[in-house]
Structure 1
Amino acid sequence: MSTTSLPTSGSPAPPPTGGTILRPFKAPPKSKTDWLAPAILTVKTITAGAECAPFPYINRVSGTVLILLEMVVTVRKNREDLEELCSSSTEIITILHDQIKMHGDTAAVKFKGLCKELESYLEAVILAIRSLQDQSKGFRGRVKEFLKSSSLKDEIAGHQTQIQGLMAIVETNFKVNEIHAIVTAPSFAGVKAVQNINNCPPPSRIFQGRQAILDKMHQFFNTDSGNQHIYVLYGLGGAGKTQIALKFIEESSFYDVFLVDTSKVEMIETGLKSIAVSKGVGDSAQDALRWLQSNRNRWLVFFDNADDPKINLHDFLPKCSHGNIIITSRNPELRSYGGHTFVSDMEEADATTLLLRRANKESSEENLKLATEIVKELYYLPLAIVQAGAFISNSEDLEGYLALYHSNWARLLSEKAAQSHDDYAQTVFTTWQISFDQLSHLATTLLQLCSFLHYTGISEDMFSTASKYDFPSWLPPREELQEPLEFLSHFLGPTGEWNSLKFLDVTTEIKAYSLISFDAKTKLFSIHPLVHAWSQSTVPNETSLQSCMSSILGMCITKTPQNEIQLASVWLIPHIVLLKSVNPDGVTDFRRAFWEIYYEAGKFKDAQGIAQEVVEKFQLLLGEDHRYTLLIMGNLAATCLKLGEFRKAEALEVLVLEKRSKLLGEDHPDTLSSMNNLATAYSGLGEFQKAEKLKVQVLKGRKKLLGEGHPDTLLTMGNLASTYSDLGEFKKAKELEVLVLGKHTKLLGEDHPYTLRAMANLATTYADLGEFTKAEELEALVLEKRTKLLGEDHPNTLLAMGNLASTYSDLQEFQKARELKVLVLKKHTKILGEDHPDTLLAMGNLASTYSDLEEFQNAEELEVRVLQKHTKLLGEDHPHTLLAMGNLARTYSDLEEFQKTEELEVLVLEKRRELLGADHPQTLRAMANLAVTYGTLGDSGKALGLEVEVLQKRRQILGDKHPHTILAMENLEATYHELGQREKMEELQQLIEDTKKSL
């Protein structure tokens, strides 16, 4: 490539014929005080010139110069201090105007960067002068001091001696069509020279987007920090790092640009030698470095493909405080050299445009739609998009590409197009294979194992926790667990403890090629989705590694502490879902562990399916009466309860209880656990008396077996108190809970999780008794302690927060309730996801508070979402779905949409009768709600029939003194009043009064 030397002096070349050229403005002698007038006229002429309209950059910069000049007009005593700045700025835009007028679009493109740099520089100067002018005292002295600063002084002085050389060079080079760019100092020090480029190709002809990165680079290199400028573009192979660097170079203005292939030490030395030879300063890499270190012209060295982590790039960087360097690398460690950007996927609009340009397809509405779907499937990776575009260009079938890709993705990502738009020789898969081949065996194995996990949310903890696994005593060591244990052993110390440093060494090796990424904030690894798919294709024996990774997850779950299992489920569930989809059988030993994760994640349907499979497997493997078969049968029953399948749960628990009683005896801990579980099923069925009877028996057995102070005994006591609350016997519940709290505090301390649970239970009972202030005090204390011990985001902390919010509602402090409930919902959504049962419960609770605040539209919006999600996740007949339906019906009533209310409540009542029976408490509640709606609609006859039935059943099932029975009496009394049945109304009033007195 030919180069042009910068003349130190000389006159501008004569302009070509055919146009009038506006000559550069020359400042008059300093004795003349009106030098600003012609300068302003010149700039206004340029700004108003119609010929500049197609090129907005010069319009903007000339407008900025005009602002500077007009501001200087207002300066009186020290205007001459600013004369050189104004003169030089005016000269520059005059030259720009002339060159664009002569050479049109060709010059416009080349001068884009120059204009932007000058505009930015002048804006900074204007702000600085305005700041000084605002401080009127001592303005003159401050301006002089400001203008004498070394960088600004040098820049202004350099304008006058170099401006004429600019015109000669620019005009000469335009004539031979060899101009490359014009270079400016870091904060626009005037024009220096024509750019000399050494073996540096232009960017791809179809380069698209990346404007944010380019803008960041321009800002970085145009900041005069007095130091060498080094910028690193790092990221996955195929992300477009080199093309971004070439585009930046094309847009910028450097005196010399040198490209150095940095893939190998030999290539670096060859590239540096070529610099020395081209400049005539020697024939070695050291000669080139010495020349760069001594040359203060605005040079740039582009170290491309610095991917080998074993090469110390520091040895090849010029040791000086000037100059500019760009480095592209897959190795994030090189970020330490200076400014940096992680180069990843493209913006969707840019990716779509790139695909259509490479495919030679017009941007029609239909093509844009098809292209958008394709780039989504390619996860917006530039190289993959270019390859897809090349294939589509050849096949001319944009519409059919996705179908082909789904069945042939590996082949399509491995084929190189015959025609290309840049010098990149690798395909998506081959570029990653080159990196993969550099990894150690342990690193490749870890990467391949991670390819069977979800591509995000991979943690060291899952491997370190799994390393603590011991074979269960009830099973012989299983052959399929030998491989995962052997793999994990590579990360263990001499005494068997987990060695994080060894794990870090291996992950750092993979990260050096950007095949895996690490988020320091979350401590989680992730893999680009296409790399994730590709790395699976490198596995010779998929079944073996799938089983190995499945076992590691199972071992991790088994060794995770029980109080952390719900939080663990959040980041483990995506991995288990993916593994189960590719390896549904997995390892039998860990099926129950996977059930637990699905259960804690609120995915009860999936949990039920796994539990059913494990029951059948254990029955075959261990027998129907084995303790682990009965254990997982109990897990299946618990899942049925969560799904509202109370009869199924009851049948399973009855069977488990019978077997354990027969095999172990009625006083065995496992038998007592079954009895307690069956009592829970009875509570779900509304059969509270049966539940009470069983829980009393369990409490008696555990007292005898374990003693009154044992945690299991106290847990049973708390469960019995809960049943007393169900029966409306709140005083009995309170007595038990006070006793439980006292024993837990004495035996375990005030901060133990069991103590705090007992405190929360007692607070709930205080609320049931209407002692809301006491409830608030306890709940505030529980929240404070859980926040301190567990953190703000722990599920138990959020439960305490929700309980306190509910008590605020009871106290009619609705604003406080809303603040807490909004926070709870936000945290549940972030931690557990939008579809988790706890999140939906929080959403419903917030909707209730909106109703309390009479923000019924907000309440409706949330309740519609809750109902839709429950219907989708749990089905139309689930108790949570029906509860959401009932809540939405009440909001419709608040909005006076009574027909909608009636429709929903009729449906809820029908389903609860069908699913739970006519006597279930939830059925009776639905009946009472519908009766209220009939009364509102003026149909007191229908309301009366339902309320009489509700009262009869509640007296029969719950007794006369239960709060729900008293509420039914009050509702019926109000209906008698509406109907004018005075005698019945007064009779019922007396009954209500007598009942309340007896409490």
Structure 2
Amino acid sequence: MAGGRNTAAAASGRGPVTISFAGYNRAWAAWIGHRLERQGHQVSLQRWDLNPGDTIEQGYSDLLLSEGRVLVVLSEWYFRLGNRSHEEWNAALRTVVPANAERFAAVSVTPAALPSAVASMGAADLWGLGAAEAERRLLSRLGTAPGAAGTAAGRTGAGSDTLGGTGGPRFPLEQPAVWGGVPRRNTRFTGREQLLGELHQQLLQAEPGAGVATLHGLSGVGKTHIATEYVYRFGPEYDAVWWVRASERGTLREKLAGLAPALGLVTGREYGERLRAVRDALRRGEPYFRWLVVLDGADQPEDVHDLVPTGPGHVLITSQNRDWGEHNSSLIEVRVYDREESVAFIRRRAPRLDDDDADKLADALGDLALALDQNAGALNDSTMPIDDYIELLQRGADVEPGLKVAADFQMTYYTAFSILLNRLREDKPEAVDLLRLCVFFAPGPIPVRLLRDLPIRDVPEQLTLLLDDPLLWNAAISKLTQWSVIQSDPQEIISEETPGSTEVVQMHRLVYQAVRADMPAEEHSTYSRVVRKLLAAADPGRPTDTRLWPRYAEIVPHLEASGALESTNPEIQLMVLNCLNYLYLSGEYRTGLRIAAATASRWAEVLEPGDPRHSDLAHHQANLMRATGDYTATEELDRSVYERLRAERGPDDLLSIRVAGSLSADLRALGRYEEALELATSTRDAYARLVGENDFRTLNSQNNRAIALRLLGRYNDALALDQQTMESRREAFRDRNNWTLSSENHFALDLRLVGRYDEATSVQERNSEIHRTVMGADNPQTLRSEHNLGLCYHRGGDRPRAALVMGRLLERCQRLLGDTDPLTVRVAVTLSTFEREHGDLDRARDLGEFALHHYRGQFGEAHPYTAGALANHGLLLRAAGERQQSQLQVEAALIAMTTALGPDHPWSLACALNAAAARNFAGDPENAAELSRATADAAAAELGRHHPLTLSCRIALATDLRNLRKRQEADKIEEEALAALAATLGPQHPHTVSARSRNRPYWDFEPFTT
């Protein structure tokens, strides 16, 4: 421990001391530190602050890393940080303090009740004492005999003499000699520790005459309360503190002049004479060198900047107006609370709310301090459930009459925003026009490019001037930024395909609501129509082009707020459809489903029943539903649309053909592979007739036909067709097009399925790399590509790489897509088989059972995926030593798979391979050999004599024949199979090595994308 390193000074009772304190008690910590330094202690101040994930024990262990004693300044505030209960504190203190009793000491600076285990610290009570007695008890608690004041070498953090005085910080229970106008301290003040520290450092380090700092931010963000807390927390460092309401020049002059008697200045009765005397006294630092003047609410710097005092002291300004930066003031922006601070504040304001309720309220109110205070106060005085109250807020109900208004700010945040808007309307009406335009975008960042860089016709005159005149535009932006109504920030250039301004503007959601409420009803349609036209003009019209996805990402958040979903304008409707296509391709399925459902509801009211847009919308909605695994509902939707279109337009209509392709995809997902192939083939042929062989629709349907072939086990046919599609897409589009990349992924998959593992890995490594570059690491198509790569590594025998890819992939799929997304479940299936063979059997079982349960619930017992997951689980049970149950499941899987797909499908053959092994282990070599022979012959006919599955079946047959003492035939079959494995996969491939060691082969089921 650090105590073992104490020097001779420590032995005499004057060793190093670390003072641990809550920010609220900073004045006590500074005074204590100064008193200890005068006695020769080396002092370090350590503000107590727990991160959300840290435990109290961790925090105290960190304190013990310091040298010497740890002196804890105890108050109720010390135990409020981090929302830890008294029970948690008691448990931690009982664990840490007794074991380190010689290191801990404490003083109490509160009359409030504290956790009972605080008694272990033997705290000296300083509350309610005079300075001399408090110092005596402090020194006694540390075993320091009072002596002559020493020189504090290496002193850090006490901060007492830096304002030019020599006496150090004042005793916290004593007010400065001059104290006027300061509001009562907020006993519910929460957070802002970093901001207060930054403010203190800026003022502390300022040169004489330059100690001016401005807290600026939106009305209601908490500027005045922060300034008040600064005064109480750091007030003991000053000899004079004077608080002035500074909204009007006349008021400011009067209140500053009122400081003259407090300073003992003898002047005449005129304000001007008294004001000059005060300013002169402050400039000279006489009679007080250490002074602080607070100008609260100084929102018009051009009117009052000449009245700001100068001298050795400090000036703290609160303002909505950032133009104080032009008047020699440093600026500190006050933003809304962090969510953790919001929750802590709400819990103090409304104790009946728990953390989850507080989080919901904070989210609904955008973490704005004044709104949190007033709404939490209202909730604490009512019994209304939090969800009901938030619903009122979200639908814009009038909750203002019930808000709890504090005595020191007797207006609601609604009124505060109304005053702000009126001020803007008088000062810069163009700024209000811009705000009204912005509120028909969604709350959140609005790219300026959407507002400025696009031609707009038929807009109101005031908006035409605003949009066409750069000077007027910039003046409006500057005014809104100046008054903290919006934030205007540069944005990273995401893509070379998104030219123009990269600036974004953003306003708080409560300002957003206030502006909409302030707008005359007749202007709503005008402004919303302009925003819809802006969005439609921003649509690049190519949602399949990944380079343009950043443009769509800018548009999508604003579709609902602008009213685009209920528009009857064909251009805007097309934009909505393009956005839905983008959301599907980019993997934003849930957002897409929500927007598609909302659009369907609105279009049912504004479009005629036979309008083609309904079919377009249904197509995108079905794609999104299918992507999330809702196959039954998708099949019902597609079939109803398909039958209607066939009846209305005929089977060769392009809309009918498109829906037929979607229906084919549904049938594939539901395990009806033959039907799916038939429909995919007719769709492909129809497109070829009507739009040509190389049209993207023909190639898409050709790709889908290959998927059906693969699901039917016709791997060579799928390989040939995928290669043809890939080459056609490369020629028609480009090498890095997302459709081309998808074809390349399918081509590598086919290569792997026919046993050409090295070729498959080579293709897929390149494919995955380009996917990450072009589509991003989190796109579902990229994840599918990486899944294929992991399986290529596995089949190719590179198990370390396979483990690396597969292990990380599951976590990413769960995080990005959810636990039950089709891709997540497929990854879980394959990772389970990998872990069973090479890793953690318990994890393999958890994943395998999850997948089996999911497929049973989604598809029922008769689906091939359920049968395959059951087969895998049977292998897992065998690995766990549960052979009897294993055989039952393996045999059941064989029956189910054969019933679903026929006996010659590769998945059926794989189930048969595993069932033969189970029969052998169960002591039935005759039936095992019979099944192995039939399976090997069928695999050779279906897949070829040198396919890895065929060779595995041959190795298994040799094992069964050897058990029947047919050694000659067994040796011959084994020798041929081993030679073929060595030639096909290589002599050192794990399959070859395992077969050479006469380990019984098995085959794992792998679900395919449908």
> How large is the RMSD of aligned CA atoms in angstroms?
6.7
1:340 CA displacement:
2.4
Superposition map of 1:653-664 within 5 A: 655=643, 658=646, 662=650
Tell me the distance in 2 between the aligned counterparts of 1:445 and 1:875: 55
Q: In the alignment, which residue of structure 2 is the partner of 1:191? A: none
2:315 counterpart SS class: strand
Q: Cα deviation per residue 1:209-266 (whole Å; 9 max; x = unaligned)?
A: 5444434434444446778344443334333221121121122222333434343455
Q: In the alignment, which residue of structure 2 is the partner of 1:326? A: 316
Q: Look up the equivalent residue of 1:383 and give its one-letter code.
A: L
Q: In the alignment, which residue of structure 2 is the partner of 1:180? A: 175
Question: Given the alignment, which residue of 145, 149, 154 partners 1:126?
Answer: 154
Q: In the alignment, which residue of structure 1 is the partner of 2:196? A: 214
Tell me the distance in 1 between the aligned counterparts of 2:558 and 2:859: 25
Preserved CA contact (<8 Å) 2:874 2:889: no
Question: Given the alignment, which residue of 240, 257, 261 partners 1:256?
Answer: 240
Tell me the distance in 1 between the aligned counterparts of 2:468 and 2:739: 36
Q: Look up the equivalent residue of 1:214 and give its one-letter code.
A: L
1:328 counterpart SS class: strand
Superposition map of 1:280-679 within 5 A: 283=273, 292-295=282-285, 297-307=289-299, 311=302, 317=308, 323-331=313-321, 337-338=329-330, 340-345=332-337, 381-388=368-375, 391=378, 411-414=398-401, 420-421=406-407, 423-440=408-425, 455-456=443-444, 459-460=447-448, 492-493=467-468, 509-517=479-487, 528=508, 531=511, 537-538=517-518, 541=521, 544=525, 559=541, 561-564=543-546, 590=573, 592=577, 596=581, 599=584, 600-603=587-590, 620-622=608-610, 628=613, 630-632=615-617, 634-635=619-620, 638=623, 641-642=626-627, 643-645=630-632, 648=636, 651=639, 655=643, 658=646, 662=650, 673=658, 676-677=661-662
Q: Cα deviation per residue 1:775-811 (whole Å; 9 max; x = unaligned)?
A: 3333333344455555656665555444434433333
Tell me the distance in 2 between the aligned counterparts of 1:847 and 1:332: 58
Question: Given the alignment, which residue of 801, 809, 813 partners 1:816?
Answer: 801
C-alpha distance 350-406 of structure 1, shift in aligned 2 (>3 A): closer
C-alpha distance 532-735 of structure 1, shift in aligned 2 (>3 A): same
Q: Cα deviation per residue 1:600-645 (whole Å; 9 max; x = unaligned)?
A: 522486578568768967983545xx5x455445446545654323
Preserved CA contact (<8 Å) 1:233 1:327: yes
For these two proteins, the number of residue pairs brought into alignment is 839
Q: Look up the equivalent residue of 1:776 and give its one-letter code.
A: T
C-alpha distance 383-967 of structure 1, shift in aligned 2 (>3 A): farther
1:383 CA displacement:
3.0
Q: Cα deviation per residue 1:303-351 (whole Å; 9 max; x = unaligned)?
A: 322445x84876655677x542323233567679436253423765886
Which one is further off, 946-955 or 678-687? 946-955
Q: Cα deviation per residue 1:680-718 (whole Å; 9 max; x = unaligned)?
A: 455446565666666666666666766666655655655
C-alpha distance 622-340 of structure 1, shift in aligned 2 (>3 A): same
C-alpha distance 222-608 of structure 1, shift in aligned 2 (>3 A): closer
Question: Given the alignment, which residue of 734, 754, 759 partners 1:774?
Answer: 759
1:126 counterpart SS class: coil
Preserved CA contact (<8 Å) 1:346 1:381: no
Q: Cα deviation per residue 1:188-217 (whole Å; 9 max; x = unaligned)?
A: xxxxxx4x3343334235545544443443
C-alpha distance 45-851 of structure 1, shift in aligned 2 (>3 A): closer
Q: In the alignment, which residue of structure 2 is the partner of 1:245? A: 227
Tell me the distance in 2 between the aligned counterparts of 1:460 and 1:891: 59
C-alpha distance 436-651 of structure 1, shift in aligned 2 (>3 A): same
Q: Look up the equivalent residue of 2:789 and give its one-letter code.
A: L
Q: Cα deviation per residue 1:855-875 (whole Å; 9 max; x = unaligned)?
A: 345556667888999999x89
C-alpha distance 782-351 of structure 1, shift in aligned 2 (>3 A): closer
Tell me the distance in 1 between the aligned counterparts of 2:155 and 2:807: 44
Tell me the distance in 1 between the aligned counterparts of 2:881 and 2:933: 26
TM-score, normalising length from structure 1? 0.63
Tell me the distance in 2 between the aligned counterparts of 1:264 and 1:888: 79
Tell me the distance in 1 between the aligned counterparts of 2:449 and 2:887: 52
Q: Look up the equivalent residue of 1:233 and give its one-letter code.
A: L
1:972 CA displacement:
8.9
**2:240 maps to 1:235:** no
2:416 counterpart SS class: helix
Q: Cα deviation per residue 1:917-947 (whole Å; 9 max; x = unaligned)?
A: 9899799599769958976995979998998
Q: Look up the equivalent residue of 2:588 and give its one-letter code.
A: A
Q: Cα deviation per residue 1:169-201 (whole Å; 9 max; x = unaligned)?
A: x89xx9xx9x424xxxxxxxxxxxx4x334333
Which one is further off, 769-778 or 449-458? 449-458
Q: Look up the equivalent residue of 2:154 and give its one-letter code.
A: I
**2:186 maps to 1:204:** yes
Superposition map of 1:14-33 within 5 A: none
1:127 CA displacement:
8.1
Preserved CA contact (<8 Å) 1:44 1:66: no
Q: Look up the equivalent residue of 1:247 and give its one-letter code.
A: E
C-alpha distance 817-204 of structure 1, shift in aligned 2 (>3 A): same
1:854 CA displacement:
0.5
Percent identity (aligned): 17
C-alpha distance 401-726 of structure 1, shift in aligned 2 (>3 A): closer
Q: Cα deviation per residue 1:715-758 (whole Å; 9 max; x = unaligned)?
A: 56555554554454544554555555556556666555555444
Question: Given the alignment, which residue of 889, 893, 896 partners 2:880?
Answer: 896
Tell me the distance in 2 between the aligned counterparts of 1:235 and 1:942: 84
1:197 counterpart SS class: strand
Tell me the distance in 2 between the aligned counterparts of 1:109 and 1:454: 61
C-alpha distance 289-402 of structure 1, shift in aligned 2 (>3 A): farther
5+ residue gaps, structure 1, are 1-35, 48-53, 72-95, 116-121, 129-151, 182-193, 471-481
1:438 counterpart SS class: helix
Q: Cα deviation per residue 1:401-455 (whole Å; 9 max; x = unaligned)?
A: 876776589554445658x45x222223222222233345665566567667764
Tell me the distance in 1 between the aligned counterparts of 2:366 and 2:861: 39
C-alpha distance 125-939 of structure 1, shift in aligned 2 (>3 A): farther
Q: Look up the equivalent residue of 1:328 and give its one-letter code.
A: T
Q: In the alignment, which residue of structure 2 is the partner of 1:762? A: 747
Q: Look up the equivalent residue of 1:620 and give its one-letter code.
A: E
Preserved CA contact (<8 Å) 1:239 1:343: yes
5+ residue gaps, structure 2, are 1-6, 19-26, 45-106, 109-123, 140-149, 493-502, 985-1010
Tell me the distance in 1 between the aligned counterparts of 2:928 and 2:966: 14
Q: Cα deviation per residue 1:356-403 (whole Å; 9 max; x = unaligned)?
A: 5x67xxx7x99999888877776664434543565578x5x5677876
1:960 CA displacement:
8.2
Q: Cα deviation per residue 1:444-502 (whole Å; 9 max; x = unaligned)?
A: 5665676677644655566679x6799xxxxxxxxxxx88x9998677549xxxx8x97
Preserved CA contact (<8 Å) 1:851 1:859: yes
Tell me the distance in 2 between the aligned counterparts of 1:406 and 1:864: 40
C-alpha distance 376-672 of structure 1, shift in aligned 2 (>3 A): closer
1:299 CA displacement:
3.0
Tell me the distance in 2 between the aligned counterparts of 1:607 and 1:860: 38
